[in-house]
Amino acid sequence: MLRVVNLSVEVNGKRILKNVNLYIKKGETFALFGPNGSGKSTLLNAIIGNPAYKIVGGRIIFKKVDVTNLPTNERVKLGMGMAFQSPPKINGVKLIDILRYCAKLSGNQEKIEELAKKMRMNEHLERAVNFGFSGGEVKRSEILQLMLMNPDFVMLDEPDSGVDLENISLVGKAIGELLERDKEEREKAGIIITHQGHILDYVSADYGVILYNGKIACVGDPKDILNQIRKNGYEGCLAKCLKDMT
Amino acid sequence: MSEGYDIDMEKLREVGIELDPAKRSATFLQQDQDVRNVATFYEGVEVMSIREAMKKYDWVKDYFWKVLRRDQDEFTKIADSEDVNGYFVRALPNAKVEIPVEACLFLHRARTQKVHNIIIAEEGSELNILTGCTSHPSAVGMHIGVSEFFVKKNAKLSFTMIHSWHNKIEVRPRSAAIVEENATFISNYILLNPVRLVQMYPTAYVHKNSKAIFSSVIVALEGSVVDSGSRAVLRESGATAEIISRTISKGGKVIARGQIVGEAEGVKGHLECKGLILSENGEITAIPELIARKPNLELSHEAAIGKIAEEEIFYLMSRGMSRDEAISAIVRGFMEIEIKGLPEVLKRTIDKAIEDMRDAL
C-alpha cells in the first residue's frame, strides 16, 4: 500500500531523514519507535505532505501512485489520514465544521453525532477546534476525525500521550477499529508512533521499527523491541538488534 | 427598487434593512436630508425624525450636544446646522422592546449628509436598534452622523451599525453614550464594502456597575482607509468594558484603535484587537491604549496582527479541504465573534452581513 523509497527530508534547512526505505502492505500495522528528534514525526509529516517538511530526495508511492509532489488534500483523497501529535488551535473554526469535511471524504455524514458521542467529544462540537481542549481531548478529537475520514492508511503520532487511564482503552479500541485489527482480512494499514508503548497494550502491531538519527535502524517484533528499549534503552536495543540480524 | 423609493431594496437588505413590520418594531428611512419613511409598529418605543421630536417635546433640545461637543472638530461643526436631520428613538420607561428598530441612512445626491441622532433607553427599558448606512452607486460625498446615546438606570441598549458604502464616500460618524448605573450598552459595527474613508472613535461613559461592550468586524478592501476604534471611560466603581475588534486588510489601510480609561477604583476592562492581512498591499496598525487614573483597577489588552498560519492551512487540508477552502474557513473563523446579549433576529442579520463580506473576499 505504501512504499517509501530513499526518502530524505529537511526541516528548516536541517536534514532530518536520511535515505529512509519502508514498505507497508495492506493489513499491516507498524509501530514506530525512536528517541526524541530521531525523525519519527518527520516521517509521518513527509508522507502526508506537510509543506514544512521538505523532501530533498526519494519518493513516496501510495497505492501505486507517486504522491511525492501531491498536495496534502489529494493524498487524503487517495486514502491517507493522520492524527497529529499537537494539532493547531484555529480561531472560530469549530470542531463540527472540520468533522463535516472529514465525513465528506467517506460519505459518513450521518455518523458524526454517534461517533462524537462514542469518543466523548459531543460536548465539544461547537467549540473552536483544540481551544481549551485537554491533552486527552485533543487526542480523542484527532481519532474522531480519522474515524469519520475512514482512511485506508492510518498514521498516528503519539495517540497515547496525555491520555488518562480512563480514556486510553477507549482510544486504543478506536485505533484498533480504524486499523481493522480484529479482522482476519484487513484492508487497512498504518503506522503508530509511540514513546511509552502504552497504546500497544490495546492495539496489536505486526512490526516494530526503530528510527535512529534519521535512519531505520532496526525492524522486528514490536513487543520484543519495546521490551528491549524498556530494559536496555535505545542503544542497548539497537546493539541487540544488530546482533540478531547478523 | 422598493415601492415608492428610488432606493435599491437589495442594497438596503445588505445593511439589514427589511422595511417589514413583522420583523421590526419601527422603521426610519432617511435619504440625504429628507425623511422618506417613519413608522412605529410596537408600543413602548417612539421613533420619529429629530426635527419632529424637537417640535413634539421641548426637552429634546436638552439632549442635543450633551455627550458630544458641537465644536469637537470640523465635522461636528458642519453637522451643527439648520438643515440637520436624523432619528429620535426612545424606549419608554420599563418597556422591553426586543424586536429591533431599524434605521436607514441613505446617501444619494447630497454632497454632505448631515445627521444628528438622539437615542434614549429610559430607566429599566430594553431597546435594540439596527442601523444600516449605505449609498447610491453614483453618490459622491460625505456622511457625517452624530449620535448621542442615553442608556438610563437599569436599561439595556444594543446598537448594531452595518455600513456598506461606495468608494467615493467619506464617512465621519461621531458617537458617544452615557451609560448610567446598572445599565448595559452593546455596540456592534460591521463594515462591508469599499469606502474612501471611515473615521470614527465612538466613546461610552460608563457609570456605576454598568457595562459597555463594543465589537467590530472591519474589512478594508483596496483603496479604502478605515480609521476606527472604540473608547470606554469607566467612571465609577463596578463599571466594566469589553472592546473586541477583528480587522482584515485586503489591500486597504486600517488603523484599529481602542482605548479604555479607568477613572475609578474597582473597574475592569479588556481590549482585544486582532488583525489579518490578506494581501501584499494592505496595512494594519493596531493602537490599543489603557489609561489608569486610580489604583485597584484591572485593565488588559491583547493585540495581534498576522497572516494566515501555514500550519493551520495544512491541518485543514489534511481533513480534505482544498487550500482555498482552508483559507476561507480560517478567515471565516477569524471573523467569528461571539456577541452576547443580542436578540436572535439581530444575530442572524449580523451573521448574514459577515457571510456577505466573506463572499467578497
Q: Using CB atoms, pick whichever of A92, A98, A128 lies closest to residue B319.
A: A98
Give residues 217 to 236 of A whose Cβ lies within 8 Å of B.
Answer: none
In angstroms, the separation between the Cα of residue B325 and the nearest Cα of chain A is 10
Has residue A145 got a pLDDT over 60?
yes
Q: Rounded to whole angstroms, how far apart are CA atoms A161 and A85? A: 8
The confidence score (pLDDT) of residue A246 equals 64
A87:B315 CB<8 A:
yes
**Closest of A73, A89, A72, A8 to residue A42, by C-alpha:** A8
Residues of B within 8 A of A102 (CB-CB) are 319-320
Query: What is the distance in angstroms between the Cα of A205 and the nearest Cα belonging to chain B?
Result: 24
C-alpha B105/C-alpha B143 separation (Å) is 9
B134 exposed, middle or buried (CB, 10 Å; 0-12, 13-18, 19+)? buried
B319 and A102 within 8 Å at the Cβ level: the answer is: yes
- The minimum CA-CA distance between A74 and chain B, rounded to whole Å, is 8
B314 vs A51, A81, A94: nearest CB: A51
- A97, B321: Cβ pair inside 8 Å? no
In A75-114, the residues whose Cβ lies within 8 Å of chain B are 76-77, 81-82, 84, 87-88, 90-94, 97-98, 101-102, 104-105
**Contact check, Cβ <8 Å, A92/B317:** no
- Is A25 at the interface with chain B, CB within 8 A? no
Return phi, psi of residue B256, to 5°: -100, 110
Contacts of B190 (CB under 8 A, 6+ apart): B160, B161, B162, B163, B216, B217, B218, B350, B353, B354, B357
Nearest beta carbon to residue A72 from set B312, B314, B332? B314
Q: What is the 3-state secondary structure (H, E, C) of chain A?
A: CEEEEEEEEEECCEEEEEEEEEEECCCCEEEEECCCCCCHHHHHHHHHCCCCCEEEEEEEEECCEECCCCCHHHHHHHCEEEECCCCCCCCCCEHHHHHHHHHHHHCCHHHHHHHHHHCCCCCCCCCECCCCCCHHHHHHHHHHHHHHHCCCEEEEECCCCCCCHHHHHHHHHHHHHHCCCCCCCCCCEEEEECCCCHHHHCCCCCEEEEEECCEEEEEECHHHHHHHHHHHHHHHHHHHHHHHHC
Domain count, chain A: 1
pLDDT per residue as tens, chain B (361 positions): 444 556 778 888 888 898 888 889 999 999 999 999 999 999 999 999 999 999 999 999 999 999 999 999 999 999 999 899 999 999 999 999 999 999 999 999 999 999 999 999 999 999 999 999 999 989 999 999 999 999 999 999 999 999 988 889 999 999 999 999 999 999 999 987 788 999 999 999 999 999 999 999 998 988 899 999 999 999 999 999 999 999 999 899 999 999 999 999 999 999 999 999 988 889 999 999 999 999 999 999 999 998 899 999 999 999 999 998 999 899 888 888 777 667 777 788 888 877 777 776 6
The rounded distance, in Å, linking the Cα atoms of A78 and B293 is 62
What is the structure's pLDDT at B230? 97
CA atoms within 13 A of residue B27's CA, in its CB half-sphere: 16
The residues near A117 (Cβ < 8 Å, ≥ 6 apart) are: none
How many angstroms separate the CA of residue B97 from the nearest CA in chain A? 30
Domain extent listing, chain B: 7-307, 308-360
Output the domain CATH number for residue A88: 3.40.50.300
Give all strands (DSSP E) within B4-74, no chain letters: 26-31, 34-40, 45-49
Chain A residues inside the 8 Å CB shell of B336: 91-92, 128
Interface of A with B in 123-162 (CB under 8 A): 128, 145, 149
Domain range for A61: 1-242
